[in-house]
């Protein structure tokens, strides 16, 4: 069984590597989600097995995710991104998003895409599927989940290499914090999905008003 999980991890990681090298069009998520769907069907696993299910206290989970999302974005904008940028001498490269500045239509399009592709898609892929598989190959002990948290965060950051070294590290740190939320929520994805979506929403609104670092 462990060998099968290693295979799943290898295929998943190969898509991330291909994306980092520029071989994946648009975004890796649109390839990873169907891959995960096929894998779960092949393994006769439910989506709930990777944390994609509605919790008993769903309203509380949504509220917790919203608060966490605001905190995550404020931390990134005012603390970690400036510190990382100062250390490496370069800000994250968000220049490909510069067209959103002052363009309300484009802002709304990116907000919709962000919730679908990033909030839902990336959390299903990296916090749900990848963390679960890594923990499984390491034995699903407490130490195994900690190892899966760290390794999945590194892979998540690597999936954002187009943002440069500072963006790569910042995204890896964001992935780590989202992973902590996932574990704290009993390995349920609702809290990190909402947190991710709210965080990105704040970021895009700041980009719209030209108040985000790294726009060029």
- The pLDDT tens digits along the chain (216 residues) read 688 999 999 999 999 999 988 899 889 999 999 999 999 999 999 999 999 999 999 999 999 999 999 999 999 999 999 999 999 999 999 988 999 999 999 999 999 999 999 999 999 999 999 999 999 999 999 999 999 999 999 999 988 888 899 999 999 999 999 999 999 999 999 999 999 999 999 999 999 999 887 776
Q: Is 214 among the domain residues? A: no
Number of domains in the chain: 1
> Would you say residue 63 lies in a domain?
yes
Predicted confidence at residue 216, as pLDDT, reads 65
Q: Is residue 66 part of a domain?
A: yes
**Among 152, 113, 156, 119, CA closest to 134:** 152
Q: Is residue 51 part of a domain?
A: yes
Note whether residue 110 is domain-resident. Answer: yes
Residue 23: inside a domain: yes
Of the candidates 132, 160, 161, the residue with the CA atom closest to the CA atom of residue 147: 132
> What's the pLDDT at 162?
84
Residue 216 domain flag:
no
C-alpha–C-alpha distance, residues 191 and 183, integer Å: 10
Range of the domain at 191: 2-208
Instruction: Dihedral sign for Cα 126, 173, 82, 74, please.
Output: positive
CB atoms under 10 Å from CB of 31, counted, come to: 17
pLDDT given for residue 1 in this prediction: 66
pLDDT of residue 42: 94
Contact, 30 vs 161, CB < 8 A?
A: no
Task: Specify the pLDDT at position 30.
Answer: 96
- Whole-model pTM? 0.96
Decide if 215 is inside a domain: no
- 91: which residues sit within 8 A by CB, 6+ positions away? 81, 85, 164, 166, 213, 214
């Amino acid at each position: 069984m462990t060998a099968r999980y290693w295979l799943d991890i290898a295929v998943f990681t190969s898509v991330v590597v291909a994306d980092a090298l520029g071989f994946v069009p648009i975004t890796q998520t649109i390839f990873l989600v169907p891959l995960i769907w096929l894998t779960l069907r092949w393994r006769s696993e439910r989506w709930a097995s990777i944390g994609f299910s509605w919790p008993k206290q769903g309203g509380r989970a949504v509220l917790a995710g919203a608060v966490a999302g605001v905190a995550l974005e404020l931390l990134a904008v005012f603390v970690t991104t400036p510190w990382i940028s100062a250390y490496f001498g370069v800000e994250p490269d968000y220049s490909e998003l510069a067209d959103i500045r002052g363009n309300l239509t484009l802002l709304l399009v990116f907000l919709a895409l962000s919730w679908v592709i990033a909030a839902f898609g990336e959390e299903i892929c990296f916090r749900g599927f990848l963390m679960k598989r890594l923990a499984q190959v390491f034995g699903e002990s407490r130490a195994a989940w900690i190892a899966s948290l760290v390794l999945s965060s590194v892979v998540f950051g690597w999936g954002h290499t187009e943002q440069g070294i500072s963006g790569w590290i910042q995204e890896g740190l964001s992935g780590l914090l989202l992973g902590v939320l996932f574990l704290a929520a009993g390995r349920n994805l609702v809290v990190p999905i909402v947190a991710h979506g709210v965080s990105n929403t704040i970021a895009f609104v700041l980009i719209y008003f030209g108040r985000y670092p790294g726009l060029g």
